[in-house]
Structure 1
Amino acid sequence: MNKNYLFLILSFLLINSIQAQDEDPAAVVKNQFKINLLSPGFVYEHGFDSKNTLYSELNLGVGYVHSDYYDETSWYILPVINEQFRHYYNLEKRAEKGKRTARNSGNFVAGSVYYNFKSFNTYERYGNYDPSLTLAALWGFQRTYKGRFNLEVHLGPGVNFDKYDTEFVLISNLTLGWVIGK
């Protein structure tokens, strides 16, 4: 009878140790696709290792401009490509606290490159919106909730280059969307 209890206890310990080895530590997913709603577009995020990803986004940016001289306003739409190298730095802490880390739910720092294409629509009084390139350092967070609803916020300083000017800019972005696929 004692041998049976000993066997049961050893079996229980062995099964727990095997399960503990199979559990993945808090890590980014290898491939993640998202659809954005506020700035309509698509995102692909590729995980290189447990904390680093390449974030690639193609969307439609919307802008607003007001002219005091003409006392008029105008909206413009332009395609935008955004590439970021992200480092998620708090996944382990979130996992230890019992918070979600699934689908890259964590805080990150990133180096970013934005390319803004020429706008689809122009208004003669405001001139053309020519292509520009922006380099930025960002801090942000991403949360993916049950139902795969995704919220992302990032902001940081950047430098914008176009054919007329080079200027310091503040980058800020709020994204709402859904993670698609597995």
Structure 2
Amino acid sequence: MFRTFLVLVVLLLNVTNAGAQTKDSVSVETSIWGVQTGLLGFWAHNESKLTRTIALRTELGFDAAFYGSNNKFNYILAPILHVEPRWYRNLDRRSRKGKNTANNSADFLSLRSFFVPDLFLISNDDVRINSTLGMTFNGGMRRVYWDHFSFELGLGAGFAADLEETYGNSVYFFPEIFFRLGYNF
């Protein structure tokens, strides 16, 4: 009886151990929802898995701007939509080194498309913006701490186009630097 019990325990341990070894590589998360804020704005986002290392990030929020005129401090909040495929390039290396990869905590390269519509503005001044469409190539890092708090830092450049062409030169160079703190649900 004891021998049968021992054989069953050994078989059970082998089966559970074999199941643990079937995962051969780390992958991006299936879906992540969150909110972020940065120096100039706040956004809500979703990252959905496309492949093992690529996620599609969609983001809706407000970009902010500040300026002074006539001894007055003015602000603008404009709605913005981002669509961005991200390639998380070092997930496997971080996993091998025992570093955190939860919630897509890795370095990334991305091609960010953005659209700023001329629907409405939140401002303390009577200003108007033109609808803008653009695309930037970015490199950055995303780190997640305590399972929910995220930190992103990145740099990129691309082009943007004024869709209303009120000034003659409607396409221009667009540098991008971002620093964001957020919470993942």
TM > 0.5 fold call: yes
Which sits farther off after the overlay, 112-121 or 153-162? Answer: 112-121
Match of 1:44 in 2: 46
Match of 2:156 in 1: 156
Could you tell me the percent identity over the aligned residues?
A: 22
Structure with a larger share of its residues in helix: 1
Q: Secondary structure of the residue that 2:133 maps to in structure 1?
A: strand
* Residue segments in structure 2 that go unaligned for 5+ positions in a row: none
Q: CA deviation at 1:24?
A: 5.9
Match of 1:123 in 2: 125
Q: Secondary structure of the residue that 1:101 maps to in structure 2?
A: coil
Q: Deviations over 1:18-65 (max 9, x none)?
A: 3201x3621101111011133322101110111011100001111122
Q: CA deviation at 1:73?
A: 4.1
Question: Structure 2: how far apart are the matches of 1:120 and 1:130?
Answer: 14
Q: CA deviation at 1:120?
A: 3.0
Match of 2:19 in 1: 18
Q: Secondary structure of the residue that 2:92 maps to in structure 1?
A: helix
8 Å contact 2:76–2:124 — kept in the other structure?
A: yes
Residue 169 of structure 1 aligns with an amino acid whose one-letter code is F
Question: Structure 1: how far apart are the matches of 2:68 and 2:131?
Answer: 20
Question: Structure 2: how far apart are the matches of 1:43 and 1:90?
Answer: 22
Residue 17 of structure 1 aligns with an amino acid whose one-letter code is A
8 Å contact 1:122–1:128 — kept in the other structure?
A: no
* Residue segments in structure 1 that go unaligned for 5+ positions in a row: none
Question: Structure 2: how far apart are the matches of 1:176 and 1:62?
Answer: 16
Question: Structure 1: how far apart are the matches of 2:81 and 2:177?
Answer: 15
Residue 61 of structure 2 aligns with an amino acid whose one-letter code is N
Which sits farther off after the overlay, 71-80 or 94-103? Answer: 71-80
For normalisation by structure 1, the TM-score amounts to: 0.83
Q: Deviations over 1:146-181 (max 9, x none)?
A: 14101112220111111232110211111111110x
8 Å contact 1:122–1:129 — kept in the other structure?
A: no
Q: Secondary structure of the residue that 2:123 maps to in structure 1?
A: coil
RMSD: 2.5
Residue 103 (structure 2) pairs with residue 103 (structure 1): yes
Question: Structure 1: how far apart are the matches of 2:81 and 2:180?
Answer: 15
For normalisation by structure 2, the TM-score amounts to: 0.81
Match of 1:114 in 2: 114
Which sits farther off after the overlay, 159-168 or 89-98? Answer: 159-168
